[in-house]
Amino acid sequence: MPDQEAIEVALEDLSDVSDSEPSTETTDNPELEQPEQQTADAADEPEKAKSEDSDKQETETKSQRRRRLRKEREDKTQAELDRLRAENERLKAKEGKLVQPDPSRYTSEAEYQADLAAFKVRKQDLESDFERVETDFTAASSEGDQSFQDAIADFTAEGAEKYDDFADKVINSPLPFTALMVETLMDSDLGADTAYYMAQNPKEVSRIAELPPVAQARAIFELEAKVKDSQKPPQSKAPAPVKPVRGGSSASQTKPVSEMSMSEYAAYRQKQMEAQS
């Protein structure tokens, strides 16, 4: 820790130098005032960024908030796990350099006993450090599991706000939802609605569960679009106004999403996002 008296002396020296320098407080040169303005602007930056983050959080949907909070928890947990792994490797390297003294190399029994005692202390300290790292690693891993459980709880609460029997029909149902299906649904703004629709159509759940992983996600996106269409207000039954015939038309999309190629699926999703914007 720095010597307090030395710090005080240094501060007095700085004060003397400051008093001896010519004052610039009354200068009329605008160029000399610019650094002060820049400092003020720099001081406002954190507040401005904080305000922008606050505005962004206020406009995010519940699904977006759930995903953001989960990612923040998972990133924090992953950083802690990485730190513990690095510390464990450092302890292993330290353990490798720890060698028990060989009595045959000593001519003095007292020196040998002193080095042996020091070795035992260092070894015990290392064992304690290994136990601490292992305990912390287990706790951090549990935090990762808890993060997923919290996300499930948030997802359940979101669904229960719309459907009274959401927990029974979706969360606690014996339907064969795969891990990928659950993750895909939780990452969707219409995940709760789509999951409830799937629970009412158990054959769809079984069908999708048997698809390859990528096709599972595609099939859920297809159902999501169907659910979204069903939530639109009914259109007027009045006849549409006659429009002039224009040259050139594109064929409507009839291929199921699960059968599309990657390029076809990318184009399909792009049109969906443009329609939602």
- Are 181 and 222 in contact by the 8 Å Cβ rule? The answer is no
- Whether residue 108 lies inside any domain: the answer is yes
pLDDT at 88 (0 to 100): 95
How many angstroms separate the CA atoms of 186 and 232, rounded? 22
Tell me what pLDDT residue 27 has.
Answer: 47
**In this structure, are 187 and 127 located in the same domain?**
no
Same domain, 193 and 149: no
pLDDT of residue 106: 92
Rounded to a whole number of angstroms, the CA Rg of the chain reads 33
Q: For residue 223, is it within any domain?
A: yes
Q: How many residues does the chain have?
A: 277
Q: What pLDDT is stored for residue 17 in this prediction?
A: 45
136 & 193 share domain: no
Residue 234 counted as domain residue: no
* Residues 98 and 178 grouped into a single domain: no
Amino acid making up residue 209: A
pLDDT for the residue numbered 37: 57
pLDDT in tens, the chain (277 residues): 444 454 454 445 444 544 544 444 444 554 544 555 555 555 566 665 555 555 555 677 777 777 788 788 888 888 999 999 999 999 999 999 999 999 999 999 999 999 999 999 999 999 999 999 999 999 888 877 777 788 888 888 888 988 999 988 888 888 888 888 888 888 888 888 999 999 999 998 999 999 998 899 999 999 999 888 887 766 655 565 655 555 444 444 566 666 665 556 566 666 766 666 5
Q: Which of 141, 162, 183 is the last residue of a domain?
A: 162
Write down the pLDDT at residue 64.
78
Query: Which residues, including other chains, have CB under 8 Å from residue 223's CB and lie 6 or more apart?
Result: 194, 197, 198, 204
The reported pTM is 0.49
Q: Where are the alpha helices (DSSP H) in the chain?
A: 4-20, 30-59, 62-96, 109-162, 166, 179-186, 191-200, 202-209, 213-230, 262-276
How many separate domains does the chain show? 2
pLDDT at residue 249, rounded to an integer: 44
Q: Which domain holds residue 191?
A: 164-229
Which of the listed residues 104, 136, 162 is the one where a domain comes to its end? 162
Q: Give the model's pLDDT for residue 108.
A: 92
What is the H or E stretch that residue 117 is in? Answer: helix 109-162
Query: Within this chain, do residues 109 and 120 fall inside the same structural domain, yes or no?
Result: yes
Copy the structure tokens of residue 6: 């030395």
Please enumerate in sequence order all residues whose Cβ is within 8 A of that of 61, keeping only pairs 6 or more positions apart, or say none: 189
Does one domain contain both 69 and 133?
Answer: yes
Question: What was the pLDDT predicted at 20?
Answer: 47
